[in-house]
């Protein structure tokens, strides 16, 4: 026997902790988990109930998605109107009167759009759909289309003929829309949703200060000042951004409508309304509308479409380098790459609303990182 050999350690019992056996501790050493493993049926039942609860919660959120969209839209509308109310307060007008003035002006703008813009746009949509077959026939009779057909064959012409035949039957259009009942329900839902959003916007605007104060109370007393400061910065940036986007979209709509009227292009009211809605999408909205409006004008007036494309492209440059910096007034400052990514992600998830709110949400996240996360990391030495 070698004198350097150590005596063998006695075998460890199953109850000996893993630390004493020279092994790394595992979660099974914890009393709660060990007790759960001793009752596998109870553990399986708990996991099953947890999974069912998660599924029920997901289904409930899916059922409430429309209501959540209404609430989000109304909250962002209230944040957009809040800077105007605060400006009236600074000029000596009491807050209730300021809210009344701002909301009355907001309702007047909505009423003006409904009365003067929506009916001509709806009429022009019907006119546009009914005119498509004749416009296709005129397009096929043009010289440049004949040269195009000579190069690529009759494939394009056959497709256009099928499209013309399909659109000539009004019943097919109703099938595309889902039928008269589906169209009526869609219009009714849109109107009821607009009323709900307007009412919620009024309530949020009236109680925004109380809502923020209640939110501050949720934070620990030592952090309330910093939370209040950060919240005010976020709400101010969101409000300034929304007002700026509405102003820029209105400028786009006015310029596009004037161009369509001067150049004699079809459906000026419809294209003006489309310009307002599409250009609300950050960055890519004006370019997207430029392509769509040029294609619509190209069907009836190729020369006018070319002039429109040139003039609107110039306007896009003026907006990007002159109007946007002045209107936004540094309300929101985030890298251009994040603007594009945020707009794409928001648009994919929630459509136009998602693209609109994605930028202020991105800015809010960056503010939180800058004023909360980064100082904490800097304090670690």
What is the C-alpha separation between 352 and 276, in angstroms, rounded? 12
> How does DSSP assign 138-167, residue by residue?
HHHTSHHHHHHHHHH-SHHHHHHHHHHHHH
177 touches 183 (CB < 8 A) = yes
What is the C-alpha separation between 168 and 162, in angstroms, rounded? 10
Residue 156's pLDDT is what? 60
SS3 label, residue 330: coil
Residue 3's pLDDT is what? 46
Which residue is associated with the tokens 């009227």? 261
Question: CA 203: distance to chain centroid?
Answer: 22
Residue 36's pLDDT is what? 56
What are the boundaries of each domain within the chain?
65-224
- The single-letter DSSP state of residue 301 is -
What is the C-alpha separation between 169 and 302, in angstroms, rounded? 27
Q: What is the mean pLDDT of each run of 10 residues along the chain (381 residues)?
A: 50 50 50 60 76 84 78 83 84 86 82 75 69 68 68 62 61 53 61 81 85 86 84 80 84 92 86 86 84 86 89 90 70 64 74 72 79 80 74
What is the C-alpha separation between 219 and 135, in angstroms, rounded? 63
What is the C-alpha separation between 292 and 266, in angstroms, rounded? 13
What is the C-alpha separation between 371 and 229, in angstroms, rounded? 10
204 touches 211 (CB < 8 A) = yes
Residue 1's pLDDT is what? 47
What is the C-alpha separation between 188 and 185, in angstroms, rounded? 5
Residue 308's pLDDT is what? 93
């Amino acid at each position: 026997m070698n004198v350097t050999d150590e005596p063998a350690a006695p075998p460890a019992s199953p109850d000996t902790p893993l630390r004493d056996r020279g092994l790394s501790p595992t979660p099974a050493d914890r009393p709660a988990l060990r007790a759960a493993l001793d009752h596998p049926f109870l553990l399986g039942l708990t996991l099953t109930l947890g999974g069912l609860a998660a599924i029920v919660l997901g289904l409930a959120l899916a059922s409430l998605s429309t209501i959540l969209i209404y609430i989000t839209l109304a909250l962002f509308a209230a944040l957009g109107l809040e800077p105007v109310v605060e400006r009236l307060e600074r000029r000596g007008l009491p807050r209730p009167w300021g809210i009344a003035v701002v909301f009355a002006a907001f309702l007047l703008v909505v009423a003006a759009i409904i009365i003067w813009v929506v009916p001509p746009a709806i009429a022009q949509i019907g006119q546009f759909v009914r005119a498509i077959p004749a416009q296709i026939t005129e397009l096929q009779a043009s010289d440049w289309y004949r040269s195009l057909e000579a190069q690529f064959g009759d494939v394009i012409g056959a497709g256009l003929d099928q499209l013309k035949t399909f659109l000539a039957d009004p019943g097919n259009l109703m099938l595309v829309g889902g039928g008269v009942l589906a169209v009526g329900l869609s219009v009714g839902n849109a109107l009821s949703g607009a009323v709900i959003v307007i009412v919620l916007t009024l309530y949020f605007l009236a109680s925004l200060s109380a809502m923020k104060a209640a939110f501050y109370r949720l934070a620990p007393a030592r952090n309330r000042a910093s939370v209040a400061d950060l919240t005010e910065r976020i709400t101010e940036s969101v409000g300034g951004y929304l007002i700026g986007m509405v102003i820029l979209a209105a400028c786009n709509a006015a310029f596009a409508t004037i161009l369509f009227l001067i150049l004699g292009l079809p459906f000026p009211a419809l294209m003006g309304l489309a310009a307002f809605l599409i250009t609300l999408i950050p960055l890519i909205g004006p370019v997207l509308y430029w392509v769509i409006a040029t294609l619509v004008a190209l069907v009836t007036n190729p020369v006018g479409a070319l002039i429109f494309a040139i003039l609107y492209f110039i306007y896009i440059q003026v907006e990007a380098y002159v109007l946007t910096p002045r209107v936004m007034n540094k309300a929101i400052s985030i890298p251009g790459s994040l603007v594009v990514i945020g707009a794409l992600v928001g648009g994919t998830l929630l459509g136009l609303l998602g693209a609109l709110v994605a930028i202020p949400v991105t800015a809010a996240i960056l503010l939180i990182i800058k004023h909360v996360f980064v100082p904490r990391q800097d304090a670690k030495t």
